[in-house]
């Protein structure tokens, strides 16, 4: 069975004579007591009192509570702190049990049409089920507490290791870990676990106030959330497996810093910005070719990143229906979205002077697509006008047909009522089959309505899709206008 981070080991970034590596520190498990409790829970001869005694004898702590996600997923909501399981006294156990037995007996006695022996058997089974539920509930609480204790004990050992620079955790809520390679380079891991859709897992790298951003992601994926890209070096899914990816990234980056921080940051910015600009130019020159590659490579590796994603099946279907329009919108959105990066690129010029040229290129690309956006919007609006002209007579004809159908339905139902008086078990479904055979015009009218309704729906879908394209293109135009890049 594959080992899981924070369940079987704690992930760490460790330094060995100036070399940084991702390593695993095994969690020392309280294996025997966990197995003992599981066996007791499955043994009918054991009770909750037996399990409590075994737990209390083996787990002697100060009964501290822990803000720990284990064993729940990071994207879960309303995760309770891990607390020492409630230990019932003998009197509490017996009192609760007797109350529940009385409730079960009362409920069973109220059930009619069963013999006394059957009632006694039901009472016995429900009492056994109740006792088993107590043991199952205690086992879950006990195992969670033990696993959290084991994790916390190992985490304490990890914190005492001078060579460990960063390690995985299970904290509920907002947490930030910062590691400084020196006064200029800061690596920060920010998490928010246990808050449902608001959970997050970010890594930020900052050098002298300049964020090292994944600029190339904006062009390497069909969808890239620019707001995340300009805020974080890496945005991962809130999952345990992301720890391995994040800490491995931190270790590799820290190790690369040995070549010199200024050089490391320069190379990072050069590689990311160069790749982004090349990608934007390719999209400008041949968006159809780029988008075709995106569709072909829809299963490309995204890893645990949440700021980007591949093209979806629904979007591929849309591409099949509107290849030209989607390629056009893809091009305009990619180029205009790059404007959001300008401020970050301006900051990067302090380390990477060529970022100035990248800024100029992005501005020129946006200025170049303005006429294309205007022409495309006008063309699509003409298409919309034509589609609406085609829709009007169909809608009018359908309205007339529905009026005819209403009359025919009323006539058919009047016949059905007469037949039903003679044959009460005659259903409408059976009747209408016979009626359609005798009145071909009834079925023909229905088929005409279905055919025209499908045609109407198809045109309405085309109108909706083209309106969506216009809105997206107009947003691109507005973004370019906001950047003051429209021709005077």
Q: Is 206 exposed, middle or buried (0-12, 13-18, 19+ CB in 10 A)?
A: middle
CA distance 313 to 253: 35
Assess whether pLDDT exceeds 70 at residue 300: no
Pick the last residue of a domain from 323, 353, 383.
Answer: 353
Contact (Cβ atoms closer than 8 angstroms) between residue 342 and residue 382: no
Does 388 lie in the same domain as 346? Answer: no
Pick the last residue of a domain from 285, 318, 353.
Answer: 353
Which of 345, 322, 306 shows the shortest CA–CA distance to 473? Answer: 322
Which of 226, 225, 463, 473 shows the shortest CA–CA distance to 327? Answer: 473
Q: Where are the beta strands (DSSP E) in 249-388?
A: 308-309
Assess whether pLDDT exceeds 80 at residue 304: no
Does 398 lie in the same domain as 328? Answer: no
> Is residue 434 situated within a structural domain?
yes
> Is residue 488 situated within a structural domain?
no
Does 53 lie in the same domain as 153? Answer: yes
The pLDDT-based confidence of 443 (bands split at 50, 70, 90) is confident
Does 230 lie in the same domain as 130? Answer: no
Q: Which two tokens stand for residue 192?
A: 């928010």
Does 118 lie in the same domain as 197? Answer: no
The pLDDT-based confidence of 61 (bands split at 50, 70, 90) is confident
Contact (Cβ atoms closer than 8 angstroms) between residue 194 and residue 173: yes
> Is residue 363 situated within a structural domain?
no
Residues contacting residue 456 through CB under 8 Å, at least 6 positions apart: 391, 394, 395, 398
Does 195 lie in the same domain as 143? Answer: no
Assess whether pLDDT exceeds 80 at residue 422: yes
Does 301 lie in the same domain as 181? Answer: yes
Continuous H helices in 310-354: 313-321, 323-337, 342-348
Contact (Cβ atoms closer than 8 angstroms) between residue 347 and residue 211: yes
> Is residue 477 situated within a structural domain?
yes
Phi and psi, residue 77, nearest 5°: -115, 155
The more confident residue out of 173 and 422 is 173
Q: How far is CA 37 from CA 58, 132, 142, 352, 453, in A?
A: 11, 13, 8, 61, 64
Assess whether pLDDT exceeds 60 at residue 299: no
Exposure on the CB side of residue 409, measured as CA atoms within 13 A: 7
Which range has the top average pLDDT, 316-320, 406-410, 446-450, 464-468? 464-468
Does 251 lie in the same domain as 193? Answer: yes
Please give the residue range of the domain that contains residue 227.
172-353
Contact (Cβ atoms closer than 8 angstroms) between residue 288 and residue 323: yes
Assess whether pLDDT exceeds 90 at residue 25: yes
Does 323 lie in the same domain as 246? Answer: yes
Domain count, the chain: 3
pLDDT in tens, 311-363: 888 888 998 899 999 999 999 999 999 999 999 999 999 999 999 999 999 99
Q: Which two tokens stand for residue 295?
A: 């569709």
Q: What percent of the chain lies above the pLDDT cut of 70?
A: 98
The pLDDT-based confidence of 298 (bands split at 50, 70, 90) is low
**For 95-101, which contacts have Cβ atoms below 8 Å and span 24 or more sequence positions?**
97/130, 97/131, 100/127, 100/130, 101/127
> Is residue 258 situated within a structural domain?
yes
Does 315 lie in the same domain as 194? Answer: yes
Region 416-444: mean pLDDT is 84
> Is residue 270 situated within a structural domain?
yes
Residue 369: how many other CB atoms lie within 10 Å: 21
The pLDDT-based confidence of 429 (bands split at 50, 70, 90) is confident
Does 207 lie in the same domain as 102? Answer: no
Region 8-16: mean pLDDT is 95
Contact (Cβ atoms closer than 8 angstroms) between residue 138 and residue 88: no
The pLDDT value recorded for residue 302 is: 58
> Is residue 338 situated within a structural domain?
yes
CA distance 110 to 132: 24
Does 399 lie in the same domain as 334? Answer: no
Pick the last residue of a domain from 116, 132, 161.
Answer: 161
> Is residue 369 situated within a structural domain?
no
């Amino acid at each position: 069975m594959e080992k899981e981070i924070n369940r079987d080991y704690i992930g760490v970034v460790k330094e060995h004579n100036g070399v940084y590596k991702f390593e695993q520190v095994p969690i020392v498990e309280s294996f025997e007591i966990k197995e003992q409790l599981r066996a007791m829970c499955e043994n009918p001869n054991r009770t909750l009192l037996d399990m409590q005694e075994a737990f209390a004898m083996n787990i002697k702590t100060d009964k501290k509570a822990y803000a720990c996600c284990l064993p729940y997923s990071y994207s879960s909501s309303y995760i309770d702190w891990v607390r020492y399981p409630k230990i019932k006294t003998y009197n509490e156990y017996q009192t609760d049990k007797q109350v529940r037995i009385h409730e079960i007996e009362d409920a069973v006695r109220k059930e009619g049409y069963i013999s006394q022996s059957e009632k006694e058997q039901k009472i016995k089974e429900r009492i056994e089920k109740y006792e088993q539920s107590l043991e199952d509930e205690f086992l879950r609480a006990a195992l969670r507490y033990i696993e959290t204790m084991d994790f916390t004990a190992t985490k304490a050992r990890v914190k005492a290791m001078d060579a460990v620079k960063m390690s995985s955790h299970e904290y509920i809520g907002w947490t930030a870990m910062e590691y400084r390679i020196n006064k200029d380079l800061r690596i920060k891991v920010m998490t928010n676990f246990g808050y449902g859709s608001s959970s997050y897992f970010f890594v930020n790298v900052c050098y002298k106030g300049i964020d090292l951003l994944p600029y190339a992601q904006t062009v390497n994926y069909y969808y890239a959330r620019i707001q995340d890209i300009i805020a974080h070096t890496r945005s991962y899914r809130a999952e345990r497996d992301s720890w391995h990816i994040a800490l491995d990234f931190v270790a590799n980056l820290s190790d690369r810093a040995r070549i010199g921080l200024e050089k490391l940051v320069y190379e990072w910015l050069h590689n990311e910005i160069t790749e982004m600009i090349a990608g934007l130019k390719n999209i400008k020159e041949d968006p159809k070719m780029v988008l075709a590659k995106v569709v072909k490579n829809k299963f490309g590796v995204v890893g645990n990143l949440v700021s980007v994603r591949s093209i979806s099946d629904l979007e591929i279907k849309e591409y099949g229906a509107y290849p030209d329009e989607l390629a056009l919108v893809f091009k305009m959105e990619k180029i205009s979205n790059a404007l959001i990066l300008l401020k970050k690129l301006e900051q990067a010029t302090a380390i990477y002077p060529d970022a100035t040229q990248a800024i100029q290129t992005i501005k020129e690309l946006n200025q170049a697509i303005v006429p294309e956006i205007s022409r495309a919007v006008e063309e699509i609006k003409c298409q919309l006008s034509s589609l609406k002209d085609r829709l009007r007579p169909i809608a009018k004809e359908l309205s007339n047909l529905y009026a005819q159908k209403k009359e025919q339905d009323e006539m058919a139902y009047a016949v059905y009522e007469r037949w039903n008086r003679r044959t009460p078990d005659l259903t409408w479904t059976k009747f209408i089959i016979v009626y359609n055979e005798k009145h071909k015009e009834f079925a023909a009218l229905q088929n005409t309505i279905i055919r025209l309704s499908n045609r109407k729906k198809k045109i309405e879908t085309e109108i909706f899709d083209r309106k969506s394209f216009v809105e997206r293109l107009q947003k691109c135009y507005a973004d370019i206008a906001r950047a003051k890049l429209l021709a005077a």
